């Protein structure tokens, strides 16, 4: 039977019935908030291409953390900007590295926050690439050995989860082995399983000072034209021991999120990346869109595609909106 027996508009008649039959909801429980922490003192610098997002030194980070806690955002993802860079990114495994100091500070003062550390080298190397160079390419297996040292140092500092973003082959296996050998069996891995070589990362590189000094990252990040390859990458990470798999970016890759959700039973994270954030902010500032509505519609699309977790720079705004502030 069709019209007039079936009238879909009956269930859209007013907001109450729309709320009752709504299929997907974004809640504060879905959110991870990225933080940029810079080595130094008295630093609070707004990122020019990311309005309302700042780089903080540890002595200024409390003002941000207190707001995150008060908004009941459950988790933060830490990115570090070190004072020292070298050819291999050795600050990543230093006991006095910026991430290690940040983790200790947060776990001591904000134990209710779940702390996830980004695991990569691009912010820490002089050349801006995600590992040890051999000529003009990243040497995969040598980078894996340094990654082991990095994740163990994060775990010793108190990290709750590690999130490898460098897209090295075998990185999840190497991390699992490194953590287990050091006795950190319970530290989960959120793998950047389908991470594309995307132009949407532009503002992040401004934020993290991580632009490569030559070339690009297309030999290790995925080609944006590829869909089937994403399932292969995710399957490998699942086999190697990933606990959560991620698709990055999110907005132009909703089909990938959907594919991953349909084919794997692990939690799926979507990274609502800097370029996606900045486009909404820029259009909102110009008055071309309703910024809040577009923000929520965008994040809802990620939930609808199948994401369980959304990493987003909008996290505080969303939490305030949901609280009615």
Active site residues: 195, 248
- Report pLDDT for 215: 44
Spatial contact of 296 and 261, defined as CB atoms under 8 Å apart: no
Residue 49 has pLDDT above 80, yes or no: yes
Tell me, what's the pLDDT at 132?
61
pLDDT tens across 283-297, in order?
999 999 999 999 999
pLDDT for the residue numbered 141: 82
Inter-helix orientation angle 171-181/140-157, to 10°: 40
Q: Which of 26-35, 158-167, 227-236 has the lowest mean pLDDT?
A: 158-167
Distance CA 248, CA 315 (A): 17
- Estimate the share of the chain in helix, then strand, then coil, as percent rounded to the nearest 5: 45, 20, 40
Half-sphere exposure of 298 (CA within 13 A, CB side): 30
Q: How many CB atoms are located within 10 Å of the residue 135 CB?
A: 6
Which pLDDT score is estimated for 142?
A: 82
Buried b (16+ CB within 10 A) or exposed e, 92-116: bbbeebbbbbbbbbbeeebeebebb
Residue 120 pLDDT grade (very low, low, confident, very high; cuts 50, 70, 90): confident
Q: What are phi and psi of 242, to 5 degrees?
A: -65, 145
* Straight-line distance from the first to the last Cα atom of the chain, in angstroms, rounded to the nearest whole number: 46
Residue 204 in 3-state DSSP? Answer: helix
Tell me the percentage of the chain whose pLDDT exceeds 90.
Answer: 75
Q: Could you write out the DSSP letters of every residue in 271-296?
A: EE-HHHHHHHHHHHHTTSS-HHHHHH
pLDDT digits (tens, 9 = 90+) for 189-232: 999 999 999 999 888 666 655 555 444 556 778 899 999 999 99
Q: Is residue 320 predicted with pLDDT exceeding 50?
A: yes
Q: Can you tell me which residue has the tokens 């460098």?
A: 166
Q: What is the mean pLDDT of the chain?
A: 91
Q: Domains in the chain, ordered, with CATH?
A: 23-323 (3.20.20.70)
Quick one: average pLDDT of 148-172?
92
Q: 134 pLDDT band (50/70/90 cuts)?
A: low
Percent of the chain residues topping a pLDDT of 70 = 90
């Amino acid at each position: 039977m069709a019209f007039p027996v079936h009238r879909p508009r009956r269930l859209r008649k007013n907001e109450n019935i729309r709320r009752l039959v709504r299929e997907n909801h974004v809640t504060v429980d879905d959110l991870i908030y990225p933080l940029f922490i810079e080595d130094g003192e008295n630093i609070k610098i707004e990122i020019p291409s990311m309005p309302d997002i700042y780089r903080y030194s540890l002595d200024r980070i409390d003002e941000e953390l207190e707001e995150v806690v008060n908004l009941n955002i459950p988790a933060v993802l830490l990115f570090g900007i070190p004072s020292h860079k070298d050819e291999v990114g050795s600050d990543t495994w230093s006991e006095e590295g910026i991430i290690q100091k940040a983790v200790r500070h947060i776990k001591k003062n904000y134990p209710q926050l779940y702390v996830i550390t980004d695991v990569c080298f691009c912010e820490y190397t002089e050349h801006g690439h995600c590992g040890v160079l051999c000529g003009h390419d990243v040497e995969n297996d040598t980078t894996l050995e340094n990654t082991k040292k990095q994740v163990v140092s994060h775990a010793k500092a108190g990290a709750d989860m590690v999130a490898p973003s460098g897209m090295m082959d075998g990185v999840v296996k190497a991390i699992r082995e490194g953590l287990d050998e050091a006795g950190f069996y319970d530290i989960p891995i959120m793998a950047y399983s389908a991470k594309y070589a995307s132009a949407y990362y532009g503002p992040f590189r401004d934020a993290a000072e991580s632009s490569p000094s030559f070339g690009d990252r297309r030999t290790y990040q995925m080609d944006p034209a590829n869909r089937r390859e994403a399932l292969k990458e995710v399957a490998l990470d699942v086999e190697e021991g990933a606990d959560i798999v991620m698709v990055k970016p999110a907005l132009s890759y909703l089909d990938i999120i959907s594919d991953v959700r349909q084919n794997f039973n692990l939690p799926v994270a979507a990274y609502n990346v800097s370029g996606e954030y900045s486009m909404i902010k820029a259009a909102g500032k110009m008055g071309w869109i309703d910024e809040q509505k577009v923000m929520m519609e965008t994040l809802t699309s990620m939930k609808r595609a199948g994401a369980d977790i959304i990493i987003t720079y909008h996290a505080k705004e969303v939490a305030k909106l949901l609280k009615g502030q």
